[in-house]
Structure 1
Amino acid sequence: MRKSFVGLLLLLWVGLVWGQSDPISRLIDDGKYLEAYAAAIKLGTSEGWTQAAKAASFYASYQAKEGERGPWYDRAEDAAQKAIASDKNNPEAYFELARADGRLAQFRGILQSLNLAASVRDNLNKTLQLNPKHAGARVALALWNLELTQKGVGWLYGADGGRIIPLFEEAIKLEPEEIIHKVEYAGALAKLGRVADARKQYEAALALTPKTAADRYDLERAKRELAALK
């Protein structure tokens, strides 16, 4: 209880200094992921651990060198687990755990990766149970279905290729200005052989104005992947 209170005081104090209500989110938006992570873990609250997980995942995805990525996804996983332990009704904590585990599957052995596939599914479903309008969880679940069905192991986990397109469409309807949704949708369409549709989604993403550092990184990715389309 005392730890949570101290964490709240710290958040309020930093907010007063910065003149804003959520300085850690601002750091993340500005691409200062290491600063955001360091500030967030000091809070000791579910929200703080959730922000730390997000900052760690973003650093691993967008800025870390090749050898750093796995350890930073490990930090993201650990922070998300602590966020859930602090508040089992925090949908963003489950989403961040799913994000971290999905990335960690790329760095771990095949058996561990298969176990992580179930974790990703369960945590995304929990996210949607707690927040039915969570667009990011829909995008991640669409990608989960795509990856497992294309690997030929979807039947082991209940993955369904027929859910991929509807989940993306639902996410974009909920958050039509979110750049990453369109970029991920375009990449999925390309993998499904729908090149013309993929091109339209990349172009739609590139027509949007970036609001955060992550948006700018995602637009650079969109440019590269659009140029590589055959």
Structure 2
Amino acid sequence: MGKWAAFPQLGEFDFGADEVRRNWARLHAGDAEPLPADPAVLQAWALYHRGEFHKAALAGLEAGGAGVTVANKATCIYATYLEKKEKARLELFQEVAQRAEAQAAREPHNAAAWHHRGYALGRYSQAISVAKALAQGLGSKVKESLEKAIRLNPRHADAHVALGAFHAEVIDKVGPLIGGMTYGARKETGLLLFRQALELNPNSAIGLIEYANGLVMLEGEGRMAEATELYERAAALQPLDATQRLDVALAQAELQE
């Protein structure tokens, strides 16, 4: 996996396995992941929530089974927020997409596997440009993966957010006509997905951020005031773990620009 940069606020979230177990519902309101039975997987999640993403990924892969989900999530969050080298970021997203696809093949009813496949391909697409990704046929893979995750786990708020972002990004780049006819992207669907995500997980900083971005992409500058309010709500949240700390910091940084 190479050397990973450290989470900047390491030590701010001092989770142990028991604390993760007690706070599981709050910590996993976004992905609705079931509490793992394997102590090794729970320990990998503790590393993840502390912000020790590299250790979490390694521990998850070593544990196997449900630990692959920890590894995929830790890698996605690290690549999204902390990896500075573009080549390395792309490789990490490709790695997750391939690993999640293999996981989904083994466990076709595992919503997390489909979500991570869609999420990783979506972030990869943003990095290389959405238009280029659509030309490579990645759009359909993102959409189908996230739709499957939601069918398997309707309470997966993060999958709703990612799928809403897909609809918004496609329409923003190619317009509503081509976006709808060619890629199945629709403004109403995207907005509905964002609203559903926040109903499932109201205190999701990333949900608020992506909804704000989606509003402007789908409905224009006239929704900028509402988008700013969503960013302000995200920036004011008290983060529960390292990932949420990164989400809140993103909102705060955007407001300062």
> TM-score scaled by structure 1?
0.85
Local SS of the residue matching 2:238: coil
CA–CA distance in structure 2, aligned partners of residues 212 and 184 of structure 1: 19
Per the TM alignment, residue 171 of structure 1 is displaced from its structure 2 partner at its CA by 0.7
2:155 to 99, 124, 133: 133
Residues 50-85 of structure 1 show CA distances to partners (whole Å, capped at 9, x for unaligned) of 221111111111211223211111221122122212
Structure 2 match to 1:171: 197
Q: What amino acid sits opposite 1:63 in the alignment?
A: L
One-letter amino acid of the structure 2 residue matched with residue 161 of structure 1: K
How far is the alpha carbon of 1:113 from its aligned partner? 5.4
> Residue 209 of structure 1 aligns to a residue in which SS?
coil
Q: Which runs of 4+ in 1 moved over 3 A?
A: 106-109, 111-114
Q: Residues 223 and 139 (structure 1 numbering): CA distance in 2 closer, same or farther, change over 3 Å?
A: same
Matched, 1:151 2:168: no
Quick one: structure 1 residues 184 and 72, their matched pair in 2 at CA, closer, same or farther if it must change by over 3 Å?
A: same
Q: Is the 8 A contact 1:128 1:137 kept in 2?
A: yes
* Equivalence for 1:190: 216
Q: Is the 8 A contact 1:124 1:141 kept in 2?
A: yes
Amino acid at match of 1:187: N
- Indicate the residue corresponding to 2:69 in structure 1: 50
Q: Aligned-pair distance for 1:172?
A: 0.4
Cα shift readout 1:77-125 (whole Å, capped 9, x = no counterpart):
1221222122111001100000111112235582675411100100011
- The match for 1:219 is 248
Greater shift, 110-119 or 147-156, is seen at 110-119
Question: Which of 188, 202, 208 is the equivalent residue of 2:237?
Answer: 208
Q: Indicate conservation of the 8 Å contact 1:48/1:83, yes or no.
A: no
| Unaligned runs of at least 5 residues, structure 1 | 1-10, 16-21
Shift of 1:44: 2.7
TM-score by length of 2: 0.76
Q: Which segment is superposed worse, 103-112 or 67-76?
A: 103-112
The secondary structure found in structure 1 opposite 2:234 is: helix
CA distance in 2, matches of 1:134, 1:31: 22
What CA deviation, in whole Å up to 9, does each residue of 1:116-167 have, x standing for no partner? 1100100011011111122111111111111111112412111101222221
Instruction: Provide the identity percentage.
Output: 32
Q: State whether residues 121 and 138 of structure 2, in contact with CA within 8 Å, keep that contact through their aligned partners in structure 1.
A: yes
CA contact (8 A) 2:236 2:248 kept: no
CA RMSD in angstroms, aligned pairs only: 2.0
The one-character-per-residue Cα deviations of 1:197-220 (angstroms, maximum 9, x if unpaired) are 011111111222101111111112
Q: Report the AA paired with residue 56 of structure 1.
A: T
Q: CA deviation at 1:170?
A: 1.0
**Residue 85 (structure 2) aligns with:** 66
SS at match of 1:105: helix
